[in-house]
Amino acid sequence: MDRLSGLDASFLYLETPEQLMHVCGLMLLDPSTIPGGYDFERMRDHLGQRVLEIPTFMRKLRRVPMGLDFPVWEHDDHFDVQRHVHRMALPAPGGDQELADMVGHLAGQLLDRSRPLWEMWVVEGLESGQIAVVSKMHHATVDGVSGANLMSMLCSLEPGAPLIDIDMKTKQPGRAPGSRELFARGVVATATKPLHFANLVKPTVGILAGAASRARRNEAMAAPLTAPRTSFNGTITGHRSVSFADIDLATIKKIKDLVPGATVNDVVLAVSGGALRRYLESRGELPETSLLASVPVSVHGKSSRDGGTNKVSSLFTRLRTDLADPLERLQALAEANALAKEHHQAIPADTLQDWAEFAAPRVFGLAVRAVTSLRLAERGPVIHNLVISNVPGPPVPLYFLGARMDAMYPLGPVFHGAGLNITVLSNNGVAHIGVIACSESVPEPWLITDGFSAELDALLASVS
């Protein structure tokens, strides 16, 4: 039995039919590499056998009586892979648009909380001859790093090779406690929260004072609540639009090497900013001030916490969409991000996780319902315009249950007030870009992804 951390549980409390808190992935696979050929039933059964060895795929939520504490994970003794792995076919002609529409539809559906919080859809009928696998996993059970590691456990480095090894120590599920024990633990957790709160106040005051001092010296990261309002910064619905694209990772690294002080992440953010500038200009709504992005930062290597899955913080960065010149944009981003990283490193890695321990389901639920019903995201200052993630992946080809992975497009959640998410995953020399949005806010996400290649070319020309 494992208790969810406050941060993990927060993703449950924030979820509504409009604000869906799962992360998705779209894999494009070459079925010709599968030993013995592709067969859905065989692939599903192979997957079913594999996930039996991976606790994350086999655990489901159990509520603590009276909601006195965060839920716990328990092993699903009635696990049935057929309830998690499904088969579909694209309508003709089976192109990118039909695939994106189907992925958007699946992304807009809630996961069943009575079962382990994941599902996969094997999609056939692609005009390319590939097969697609659409995965969905709740954010309460994975973050960016743990999700990538989890998917890698279903892969091998060669078509017929054994799958990537699993640490055998993690296979045994914990003992399932009784309701009385859960209730007692909840009472203790509730009673000790005031003490934990008092212990957090003093260091947090110090963090805030340090941030204020950095701001006075112009050494702080960009501040939230200072973003301009755009068409994707309002109340969202449960409908999702999706698009995807590829750009060359070697070109990104070449540009990074030609611009002193720049990093791969700086180049990704600069190209993203350029693509968004093109998109907003085409709609006649480019704001005079720069868009502000929230950029998740993994703290897996720095966190002192043993429990919990989500070990993440975030920094805020201006994408400099107010600058037309791509090189100026990259240079400005590199300079600002260097300061933001120094600021971020001054904040203890567990700060967000520590404060999330005080997350209250009723308070979160009421707050989210108020934001939806009163359309509060359309009033007052904008916290940030969107979320942008850059996830490093393996530099070699991977084979998902024997099928060569040609592409992997990650798709994160979107929120009230920030109805657009861009995630970039590098794999085998290619940067795969996944865009997901509230479809009412961004009805044509292809206009964003189409700008990435053009913006990368423009940036390369400006530094060469």
> Catalytic amino acids?
139
Positive or negative CA dihedral for 216, 311, 274, 443?
negative
Residue 195 tokens read as 């003490």
Positive or negative CA dihedral for 424, 355, 22, 183?
positive
d(CA 432, CA 342) in angstroms, rounded, equals 28
List Cα–Cα distances, 256 to 221, 263, 266, 270, 372, in angstroms: 21, 6, 8, 11, 42
List Cα–Cα distances, 435 to 234, 354, 377, 405, 464, in angstroms: 18, 31, 21, 19, 29
What are 227's strand-pairing partners?
382
E-assigned strand segments in 221-341: 240-248, 292-298, 312-318
d(CA 101, CA 94) in angstroms, rounded, equals 11
Closest Cα partner for 433 from 415, 412, 461?
412
Alpha-helix runs per DSSP H in 52-119? 55-58, 96-107
Instruction: Give residues with Cβ within 8 angstroms of 390, minimum separation 6.
Output: 264, 265, 268, 269, 295, 423, 424
User: Which own/partner pairs from 204-212 qualify as long-range (CB within 8 Å, at least 24 positions apart)?
Assistant: 204/351, 204/355, 207/346, 207/347, 207/348, 207/351, 210/346, 211/343
d(CA 229, CA 94) in angstroms, rounded, equals 36
Centroid of chain to Cα 368: 20
Instruction: State the DSSP string of 221-240.
Output: PPPTT-BPP-TTSS---S-E
Centroid of chain to Cα 362: 25
